[in-house]
């Protein structure tokens, strides 16, 4: 497990304390050298991850000038917390605590949020590694503002055409309605607690994927858990679903959804 993934697995729950500050920046004329404003759909929450304060502040200002709710962080650890509150992540690779590629992989392992790498690393190999890490696009510094804005728009356009996360999940005789939080097996409704449903839904959303115990704890319980929390709820779920085969234990790693 990489250091970035370890931090992601153990990060505190998202909340007001973890959010990056977002001071209001007055809108003004375009920065020198950038020309007229670039027309873009507005209202997106854009996370800028860059250790260079001057670059980050300039980009945040430009994004806000175009109507976006932009905010910045300097460290990879902060990005692993803040990405949950973003519609798009602009990620530099040169960070003081973690390598940007590790951060990109860690974000992609748990989220579909679009990531554009914005970096001074200009080699073809760096670009390939960035895309393989899960980035949706790769932009090298120095860049033109118009080009970056066009790439942002193109990435967001592609994302809009991607199918939304499933609201109904079927696995053999198991049926999960995410919107109504209803679960049935062979047509018979199964009464689950809130946390039992959240756990089952998370496993079912990643079929045949082993989800580490720490990730389950973080995403379902936040910081309110004990060492036996997952085991207790898995045991209860197996009993209510009618068999141990619905949730498979992968020793030393975590759990995955089975076939009943």
User: What mean pLDDT is predicted for residues 14-41?
Assistant: 37
Cβ partners under 8 Å of residue 211, min gap 6: 202, 203, 254, 255, 256
**Bridge partner list, 115:** 89
Dihedral of CA atoms 203, 169, 184, 199 in degrees, nearest 10, equals: 20
The answer, yes or no, to whether residue 161 has pLDDT greater than 90, is no
User: What mean pLDDT is predicted for residues 142-153?
Assistant: 92
More confident residue, 247 or 85: 247
Closest by alpha carbon to 106, among 211, 7, 209, 216? 7
What is the maximum span of the chain, computed from C-alpha positions, in angstroms?
A: 67
Residues 204 and 173: beta-carbon distance below 8 Å: no
Angstrom distance (rounded) from CA 220 to CA 231:
13
* pLDDT given for residue 218 in this prediction: 76
Average pLDDT taken over every residue of the chain: 81
Burial 39-57 (b: 16+ CB within 10 A, else e): ebeeebbbbbbbbeeebbe
Residue ranges per domain, the chain? 3-161, 168-257
pLDDT band at 84 (very low <50, low <70, confident <90, very high): confident
Residues 98 and 7: beta-carbon distance below 8 Å: yes
Cβ partners under 8 Å of residue 18, min gap 6: 11, 12, 81, 82
Tally Cβ neighbours within 10 Å of residue 121.
18
Tally Cβ neighbours within 10 Å of residue 198.
17
pLDDT band at 15 (very low <50, low <70, confident <90, very high): very low
**The domain at 168-257 falls in which architecture?**
Orthogonal Bundle (1.10)
pLDDT band at 27 (very low <50, low <70, confident <90, very high): very low
DSSP 138: E
Cβ partners under 8 Å of residue 154, min gap 6: 137
* pLDDT given for residue 37 in this prediction: 40
> What would the two tokens of residue 118 be?
């914005």
User: What separation in angstroms does the CA of 93 have from each of 63, 102, 156?
Assistant: 20, 9, 21
* pLDDT given for residue 74 in this prediction: 95
User: What mean pLDDT is predicted for residues 164-191?
Assistant: 87
* pLDDT given for residue 219 in this prediction: 78
Q: Does domain 3-161 have CATH number 3.40.50.2000?
A: no
> What would the two tokens of residue 101 be?
């590629």
Residues 206 and 254: beta-carbon distance below 8 Å: no
Residues 102 and 92: beta-carbon distance below 8 Å: no
Query: Which residue matches tokens 């976006």?
Result: 68
Q: What is the pLDDT of residues 219-238, one digit of tens each?
A: 787 655 666 888 999 999 99
The answer, yes or no, to whether residue 19 has pLDDT greater than 70, is no
Q: What is the pLDDT of residues 92-125, one digit of tens each?
A: 999 999 999 999 998 888 788 899 999 999 999 9
């Amino acid at each position: 497990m990489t250091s970035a993934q370890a931090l992601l697995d153990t990060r505190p729950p998202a909340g007001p304390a973890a959010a990056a500050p977002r001071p209001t920046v007055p809108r003004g004329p375009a920065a020198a050298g950038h020309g007229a404003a670039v027309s873009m759909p507005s209202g997106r929450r854009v996370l800028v991850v860059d250790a260079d304060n001057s670059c980050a502040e300039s980009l945040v200002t430009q994004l806000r000038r175009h109507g976006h709710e932009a905010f910045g962080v300097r460290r990879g650890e902060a990005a692993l917390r803040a990405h949950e509150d973003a519609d798009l992540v602009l990620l530099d690779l040169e960070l003081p605590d973690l390598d940007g590629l590790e951060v990109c992989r860690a974000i992609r392992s748990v989220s579909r949020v679009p990531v554009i790498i914005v970096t001074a690393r200009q080699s073809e190999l760096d670009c390939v590694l960035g895309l393989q890490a899960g980035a949706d696009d790769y932009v090298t510094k120095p860049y033109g503002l118009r080009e970056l804005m066009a790439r942002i728009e193109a990435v967001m356009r592609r994302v809009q055409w991607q199918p939304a996360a499933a609201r109904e999940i079927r696995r053999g005789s198991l049926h999960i309605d995410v919107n109504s939080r209803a679960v049935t097996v062979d047509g018979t409704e199964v009464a689950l607690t809130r946390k039992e449903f959240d756990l089952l839904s998370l496993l079912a959303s990643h079929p045949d994927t082993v989800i580490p115990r720490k990730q389950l704890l973080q995403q379902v319980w936040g910081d309110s858990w004990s060492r036996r929390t997952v085991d207790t709820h898995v045991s209860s779920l197996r009993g209510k679903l009618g068999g141990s085969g619905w949730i498979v234990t992968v020793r030393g790693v975590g759990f995955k959804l089975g076939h009943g």
